[in-house]
A and B are shown apart, each in its own frame.
Chain A
Amino acid sequence: MRTFIAFLLALYLVFFAAAAFESFGEPQGLGRIAEHYAAEGFEEVGAINLVTAVVVTYRGLDTLGEVSVLFTAASAVILLLSVFPLGKPANKPSSIVLLTMKVLPGPILLFGGYIIAHGHLTPGGGFPGGAVVASAALLVLLGCTQEVGFAKWLTFAESMAGFSFAMLGFWGLLKLGQFLNNSVLFLGIPGQLLSAGIIPLISAAIGVKVASELSGILVAYRCGGGKE
């Protein structure tokens, strides 16, 4: 009965949303802004991948805000777990996990770095690459029993990444009068690894920030907020 009432309520809400979306009609083409991005983005920022161009430069200020939302969630987790620790892990890691922990993080880190570095060329960029790097940290944490060595560097890496993201934005403001202007560095030939202005640098900053925040959450889950 309770499920049925909840189903009716949810059906009403979803039907409402579907009707609202239906009134937009089938989209016939790109909107005005997206058309500008598709037509001019290639020359303006020199990035092949328009999604990364939108994330990092055109709507880079929004990305700065979204990264701080991520930071807020991560610091809430770490704060809660350092006040109310979950307790120590119950049993020792088995030899299978220990062997995997020695072998796999290297290739995973390499793959994450590849995704971050090629953000302006292929699908990827700072956010997915950072998540992949954090999964390598998860593997290391699975196999450890005491405090891990990289945990105390996470805060430093996170704040340095956020600082360099903002500073790259202010560089454009000082040099060309526009926050996060992409033309402060040479644009290069589109399609090469070293091209597209400051997009690779900002991708790297976002990648380091996302990786350190997600690994910070994992360290807090495993070790109860880091500092005892």
Chain B
Amino acid sequence: MSLSLVLLLSSMGLLLTGLVGIMAKKHLLRIALAFTLASTGVNILLVWTGYLAGRKAPIIDASIEEIATVAVVDPVPQALVLTSIVIGVAVSALLVVVAVLTSRELGTADVRRMRNLKW
């Protein structure tokens, strides 16, 4: 079982768990938690797209300076994930605030009992 497969399977598992949680859970904070799980899965999926077996992290030192193109993994998805993790923190903070304020306004955090949003 290669590391690439482990990355792919764990990302798919996290994505699956997160999507099921978003669709099936009733408490607003659990939905927010499931959302962060799904976004972690997407981050691992992005890292997987740039992973090449047996290569090193994209830091060029003296030992791999000449053979850099065959010795390092793809730096572009890693740069994307680096920014996306921090943005994910801010977005989940926003989600938690919306969940808390909604549950306070409606008196419940249970999505089944939020009748006044139905049409």
Chain A residues packing against B (C-beta within 8 Å): 2-3, 5-7, 9-11, 13-14, 17-18, 21, 24, 26-27, 29-31, 33-35, 37-39, 41-42, 48-55, 59, 63, 66, 69-70, 73-74, 76-77, 80-81, 84, 86, 122-123, 125, 127-128, 130-131, 190-191, 210, 213-214, 217, 221
User: Known contacts A48-B61, A55-B79, A123-B57: does B90 contact A6 (CB below 8 Å)?
Assistant: no
Q: CA separation between A5 and B24, bound complex, in Å?
A: 8
In the bound complex, do residue B60 and residue A42 qualify as a contact, i.e. CB atoms below 8 Å apart? yes
A-B contacts counted at CB < 8 A amount to 145
Q: CA separation between A52 and B59, bound complex, in Å?
A: 10
Q: How distant is A29 from chain B, measured CB to nearest CB, in Å? A: 7
Set A9, A24, A31, A77: member contacting B94, Cβ < 8 A: A77
Most chain B CB within a 10 A radius of its CB, from A6, A35, A125, A214: A6
Set A69, A76, A80: member contacting B87, Cβ < 8 A: A69
Give the residue name and chain of the A residue nearest to B4 (CB): A26
B10 at the interface (CB under 8 A from A): no
In the bound complex, do residue A34 and residue B20 qualify as a contact, i.e. CB atoms below 8 Å apart? no
Q: CA separation between A17 and B60, bound complex, in Å?
A: 33
Point out the residues of chain A lying under 8 angstroms from B45, CB to CB. 17, 21
Set A21, A38, A59, A123: member contacting B69, Cβ < 8 A: A38
Beyond A14-B15, A18-B8, A127-B83, 13 extra complex contacts between A and B, CB < 8 Å: A10-B20, A14-B16, A14-B19, A17-B15, A27-B74, A31-B76, A39-B69, A48-B59, A55-B79, A73-B94, A74-B93, A125-B82, A217-B90
Q: CA separation between A1 and B60, bound complex, in Å?
A: 53
In the bound complex, do residue A38 and residue B58 qualify as a contact, i.e. CB atoms below 8 Å apart? yes
In the bound complex, do residue B86 and residue A70 qualify as a contact, i.e. CB atoms below 8 Å apart? yes
User: Known contacts A10-B16, A10-B19, A127-B83: does B89 contact A122 (CB below 8 Å)?
Assistant: no
B70 at the interface (CB under 8 A from A): yes
User: Known contacts A10-B16, A13-B19, A55-B82: does B76 contact A33 (CB below 8 Å)?
Assistant: yes
For window 7-48 of B, CB contacts with A under 8 Å fall at 8, 12, 15-16, 19-20, 23-24, 45
B52 at the interface (CB under 8 A from A): yes
Point out the residues of chain B lying under 8 angstroms from A53, CB to CB. 75
Q: CA separation between A210 and B88, bound complex, in Å?
A: 12
Chain B residues packing against A (C-beta within 8 Å): 4, 8, 12, 15-16, 19-20, 23-24, 45, 49-52, 57-61, 65, 68-70, 72, 74-76, 78-79, 82-87, 89-91, 93-94, 97-98, 100-101, 104
In the bound complex, do residue A54 and residue B75 qualify as a contact, i.e. CB atoms below 8 Å apart? yes
Point out the residues of chain A lying under 8 angstroms from B68, CB to CB. 38-39, 42
Q: How distant is A13 from chain B, measured CB to nearest CB, in Å? A: 6
Q: How distant is B26 from chain A, measured CB to nearest CB, in Å? A: 9
Selected A-B contacts with CB under 8 Å, 17 pairs: A6-B20, A6-B24, A14-B19, A18-B8, A34-B76, A38-B69, A50-B72, A53-B75, A66-B84, A70-B86, A73-B91, A74-B93, A80-B97, A80-B98, A81-B97, A214-B86, A217-B93
